[in-house]
Structures are given as structure tokens and as C-alpha cells.
Amino acid sequence: MSLTTFSFPTPTLFGAGALAELPARLTRLGIRRPLVVTDPGLPPTPAFKLLQQTLGVAGQGTDWRLYSGVHPNPIESDVTESAQAYRQGQCDGVIAFGGGSALDVGKAARLLIKRPALALADFDYNADWTGLPPLVCIPTTAGTGSEVGRSSVITIAATHRKKVVFHPELLARLVILDPELTRGLPPKLTAATGADALTHCIESYTCPTFHPMCDGIALEGVRLVIDALPRACRNGNDLDARGRMLVAAAMGAVAFQKDLGATHSLAHPLSTLCGLHHGLANALCLITVMRFNSERQPGLYRRVGIACGLDVMKGTDAEADRVTIEFLAGFLASLGLASKLREHGVKESQLEALVAQAVEDPCHATNPVPVTAADFRNLYLSVL
Ligand SMILES: [Fe+2]
């Protein structure tokens, strides 16, 4: 049996109005002048207004600085500029506030604060990364779960390729999950980000790594999404549903320390080459991958079906999978997530480039069954 690390270490403050605790928590973490890292879409939103009210205006309350230049798929300069803003503002901690991109940049900026000459492409896992500035992560979407992750995905300028920077020291010291902050998310984005969380739970549960703790978390995450996502899409002000989705998203990301599968390998190129939203790309590919996996390993999804509330305890493995997959296909369709890739501008002429990147993507290494280039081509064609 190989050695495995089971790790669930992020203190998480959850609940409507939890953001009000932020000033006291900053003090407890020794942060007197935080740098808020976010993207340019956030400052005009009610969520950001809540943050401003909580931190206070200059001269009253917390003395804080702002970097709001994070790109949707974050680039290296977002990280270097954040680190510069931190130094110029003589800050002593980071608040990453926003979707997955802002959280990833906030996490990674601390590496350059410790080592200003670092080129992210040359990140050395074995260097001494202790003593990074304390980080508080506050998500304003419920999907990526980046707030509880220990990696950042940053596009390197010189190569135009995404670099995954992974280190346990990147973890936040505190996560605040406050459904008041996701209230304003429009239904389409709520559905797409929620589908990302669902995909994390399903792919991490079915990835073959031995991790029963993550398996339990993943299945409960599925149950939460099935219950809460339709409600959050129907009524954005349903704070109970919003809160459950925030927790489900964090659970999905905790679970995928096990790793992911072929759906993410199909989805990543759809974002980098065709500009699709990551959650949408996952939603459009999930069902075809489930069918592919189930044909080769029947019974894979029986417990996913039970987590969905389906009566699939008895019956053959193939039947349990079929019922579960049909239910999830209907679930995604009811959220407006059943369109074809071509409806989102993906062209058949892009197929070979998509397949090449999907094959190179590391996620499918932990898919429950092997996936070849020919399989990836057929999977794309089935949803094109
Ligand atoms: Fe994802």
C-alpha cells in the first residue's frame, strides 16, 4: 500500500453575515493592513460594497489597499502586480476576494512577496516557502472551491501555457463562506459554477485513488448540489440554497485532492482554445464521460445515484448507472446546461487541437478507465 496524506486543514467560517467577523479575524491573524486582491468586475458589485462597509473607509476601520486587475484566466503579471501593490502599500496580509481567478492570484502573490525575483515558471516546490504572508480567502462564486485549495493556475507570459503552482503553504489561514456575497450572481453563472462543483464531486469520487474521507465528502457534496443548485438558480436570494452551494463547492475542492478525471481534461482545452466558461465546459462534457466510463466499468455511479436520492440500491450495475446518468442529464438540462458545443462557437476545425490538449491534460490520468486520443475525439464529437 502506498503512503497517502489526508489533509483537511482550512479553518472555515460559514453563514449569512459571516463577513462581519472579518475585522476581528484579521486582528487575530496579526493583519493590520491587508491587500485586497480581486478582479475589475467586482468593485461595482453589492458583494464588494459589503466588503468595503466591513473594512471601513480610509482613516476609519481597517487600513487596507486594493489590487483589482486580475484577468478572468489569470496571467503572470496579475501576480507580480499584486506583489508590487503589497510592497508599495506596506501590507502585512492578503484578502483574496472573488471567483477562482482572484483567489488563485491572491494565493500565488505571496510567493513573490517572499521572493520578489521568482519567475513562476521556475517555481521550486522544495524551496523554503514557510512564512508566507497570511491569507484570507472569501469566494463570491460557488464553484471552483479554490479557497480551500493549495494550488494556483496562472498563465505564464513567455509560453502562453497554464502553470499549476502547488504547495501546502499556499493554503489560506481562514476561509469565509458568506452566502450574502453570492446573492447577486445571475442564474446562468450560478448554474455554470455550480456544475463545476458537481463535476468536482463526481470526478473525485470515481477517481481510483484510495481516499475514503474524500469519497464521503464528495458524495455529500453531490447531495447538496442536487438539492440546492436548482433553488439558487430559481431564486438568487435564497440564502439557504446559496449557503449550501458555497459549502458544496468547498467540499468538491477538498474532495479533488484525490484528483479528477476525463471531464476536466475535455473542459480545459474548451476554455483555453474556445473561451468557454470552465463550469459550462464541464457541464456539457460530464454526461458523455459518465456514459463512456460506465460502459467500461459498470456500477461506477450507483452511489452517486443514491446521493442524488435515486432508488438504485438494487438492480444491475448497468441499470443503476443508466438511471443515475439519465437523472443527471435531466438535472443539467433543467438548469439550461444541455446545449451542444457548436452553440458556443466551437468549430469542427478545432477538433484536432482540442484532442491534442486533452491528451496532454493531466486530469485524465486518474479517470477510472483509460482514455485514448481516439476516445477524446469521439467524446468531443458526441457533444459537438
Ligand atoms: Fe473544475
- pLDDT, tens only, 228-246: 999 999 999 999 999 999 9
pLDDT of 59 higher than 60: no
Rounded to the nearest angstrom, the distance between the alpha carbon of 203 and the centre of ligand 1 is 10
Rounded to the nearest angstrom, the distance between the alpha carbon of 260 and the centre of ligand 1 is 9
pLDDT at 157: 80
Rounded to the nearest angstrom, the distance between the alpha carbon of 279 and the centre of ligand 1 is 6
pLDDT at 98: 97
User: Rounded to whole angstroms, how far apart are CA atoms 151 and 256?
Assistant: 12
Rounded to the nearest angstrom, the distance between the alpha carbon of 68 and the centre of ligand 1 is 23
Rounded to the nearest angstrom, the distance between the alpha carbon of 199 and the centre of ligand 1 is 7
Rounded to the nearest angstrom, the distance between the alpha carbon of 31 and the centre of ligand 1 is 31
Rounded to the nearest angstrom, the distance between the alpha carbon of 69 and the centre of ligand 1 is 23
Mean pLDDT of 260-273: 94
pLDDT at 57: 66
Rounded to the nearest angstrom, the distance between the alpha carbon of 91 and the centre of ligand 1 is 31
pLDDT of 250 higher than 70: yes
Q: What does pTM read for this prediction?
A: 0.95
pLDDT at 215: 97
Report CA dihedral (210, 211, 214, 219) to the nearest 10 degrees. 50
The fraction of the chain above a pLDDT of 70, given in percent, is 99
Rounded to the nearest angstrom, the distance between the alpha carbon of 256 and the centre of ligand 1 is 9
Mean pLDDT of 265-272: 92
Task: State the chain's mean pLDDT as an integer.
Answer: 95
Rounded to the nearest angstrom, the distance between the alpha carbon of 202 and the centre of ligand 1 is 11
More confident residue, 271 or 346: 346
Rounded to the nearest angstrom, the distance between the alpha carbon of 26 and the centre of ligand 1 is 29
pLDDT at 73: 83
Rounded to the nearest angstrom, the distance between the alpha carbon of 61 and the centre of ligand 1 is 36
Rounded to the nearest angstrom, the distance between the alpha carbon of 201 and the centre of ligand 1 is 10
pLDDT at 58: 54
Give the sheet arrangement for strand 12-14, strand by strand: 12-14, 174-177, 135-139, 93-98, 34-37, 65-67
pLDDT of 21 higher than 60: yes
The fraction of the chain above a pLDDT of 90, given in percent, is 90
Rounded to the nearest angstrom, the distance between the alpha carbon of 59 and the centre of ligand 1 is 40
Of 63-67, 136-140, 160-164, 341-345, the least confident: 160-164
Rounded to the nearest angstrom, the distance between the alpha carbon of 90 and the centre of ligand 1 is 34
Rounded to the nearest angstrom, the distance between the alpha carbon of 150 and the centre of ligand 1 is 14
Rounded to the nearest angstrom, the distance between the alpha carbon of 355 and the centre of ligand 1 is 18
Mean pLDDT of 252-266: 95
- Name the band, by pLDDT with cuts 50, 70 and 90, for residue 3: confident
pLDDT of 302 higher than 60: yes
More confident residue, 58 or 366: 366
pLDDT of 62 higher than 60: yes
Rounded to the nearest angstrom, the distance between the alpha carbon of 144 and the centre of ligand 1 is 6
pLDDT of 2 higher than 80: no
One-letter amino acid for residue 243 of the chain: G
Mean pLDDT of 256-278: 93
pLDDT at 167: 95
- Name the band, by pLDDT with cuts 50, 70 and 90, for residue 156: confident
